[in-house]
Amino acid sequence: MKGAVAAGHPDTVGAALRMYALGGNAFDAALAALAAACVVEPVLTSLAGGGFLLARRPGEDPRLYDFFVQTPRRRRPGDDSEFYPVLADFGTAQQEFHIGAGSIATPGTVRGLIHCHARLGSLPLREIVAPAIEYARQGVAINPLQAYIFSIVAPIYRATPEAEALYGGEALRGTDTPFHQPQLADTLAWLGEEGDAPFYDGELAARLVALSDAHGGHLQADDLSGFRVIERRPLIHRYRGYEVATNPPPSSGGTLINYALSMLDAQPPCAAGFGSLAHLRTLAHVMTLTNVARRDGILARSQRHRELMAAYRDAVAGHPVNTRGTTHISAIDAAGNLASLTLSNGEGSGRLLPGTGIMLNNMLGEEDLNPDGFNRWPCDVRVSSMMAPTLAEDSRHLIAIGSGGSNRLRTAILQTLSNLIDFGMSPEDAVNAPRIHFERARLDIEPGFEAATIDGLAADYPQHHLWSSHNLFFGGTHTVCWDGKAFSGAGDPRRGGVFASA
């Protein structure tokens, strides 16, 4: 056995497996999956988005590589910026997103790919991007999940003539006809030979600046040339004998998971059994207190909790928060290398980087990033994120886990970790088990719990919603485990997940 991977699309996983077949490590696999996801999961991620890699080599401390987006160094006046709302249709509800050239933050994914490859990879860069180039050139069928996601955000992918020309056919219709992206294939091949220089200092950077100038964007040349990957020490928490590492401030999701685990320490949920009313009450109570601590700074119980949340608020202060859609990749190899990688492009800005096939992000269009009103974000700061790539290990087990899912990803990761550690579930059972999520005074409940338990929760939480089926609303915790003898894992079916080993 060489390694294993879990991700949100069969071709994303296939790219990672090809790296193992070439003798690559878990980091090669994760980075090949990153490039592939930009082709086959195009609404969820892009080469013009951003993300985080949490990596751990055997015998070394884990390291967090932050290549999330940065706010531009200067703001154009609002009336001179292309920035406008569109409505996304979720079927049961609609949500307003903001797009246009004025919504584009400084991208980090290309620099993150190249930086992490230099630090951690073992295969040539051209091998890392080769599967993605093949997918883009030969075409990929749009699977039902990707077609559904496209249908939700169709107004964004038809917002400009260039976007309509690329995505208005097979992609948005969700047909069996392969979706070809020849310009993206050429761009990936260029980056595979030249690294990130074209994107941040060369021809592609010049095209992005020209687009920004012409269409009311904020980005200028020094935004791109000055972008750096930031290496951070992750947050570490000891939980039931496991060392759990996750994304540190200024991002927020990892801190909130850490805080929730620290509260579960004092009230083990396993005593009453998974899915019992006592178990779910404990989870809901922890979620409630975490939300209160995040919002108001009202802290629970201990000096440790107070110090943790005070440090969180200090670190996040001045960093606007992004909570938008994401995809995730987990990989472990037989040498004990661990990679947890989470990526996002927001929903896309509707603007393509000319001649590249790359949809540019709309990270500046998030409401949470603009609490004082749109176009008032702080300049030249790393954007905070709810994304929380996570690793856990004890003396015998290694776990790589993470999730997409906006604000829900932190409760999805918390519950899946608890299922693995507290209840001893297999990864498949831990991922597939029903979940709850509490936010803004409402408790959302997946089906699968006993009727009496649901009745008890409903009495405790009058504002609640019982879903009719498992749903991508509750995240997608793609998970890989290794016990030194065999790999196990699960791709979360809520988000098209696939697990495979080589």
Catalytic machinery residues? 326
DSSP notation for 264-293: HHTS-GGGG-TT-HHHHHHHHHHHHHHHHH
Q: Are 306 and 299 in contact (CB under 8 A)?
A: yes
DSSP notation for 153-213: TTTTTTSSHHHHHHHTTHHHHT-SS-B--HHHHHHHHHHHHHTTHHHHTSHHHHHHHHHHH
- Cβ contacts of 315 within 8 Å, gap of 6 or more: 248, 249, 250, 255
Q: Is 419 left (phi over 0), alpha (psi -120 to 50) or beta?
A: alpha
Q: How many CA atoms lie within 13 A of 421 on its CB side?
A: 26
Tell me the CA distances in angstroms from 388 to 18, 323, 361, 395, 501, one per residue in order: 26, 11, 19, 23, 23
Cis upstream peptide for 493 (omega within 30°): no
Pick from 418, 416, 406: nearest CA to 480: 416
**Integer Cα distance of 313 and 259 in angstroms:** 13
Residue with tokens 């550690």: 421
**Integer Cα distance of 328 and 344 in angstroms:** 9
- Cβ contacts of 145 within 8 Å, gap of 6 or more: 8, 472, 495, 496
From the CB of residue 428, how many other CB atoms can be counted at a distance below 10 Å? Answer: 15
Q: Are 16 and 337 in contact (CB under 8 A)?
A: no
**Integer Cα distance of 102 and 127 in angstroms:** 35
**230-232 sheet: strands from edge to edge:** 230-232, 63-66, 50-56, 338-344, 327-333, 3-7, 498-501
What single letter denotes the amino acid at residue 436?
I
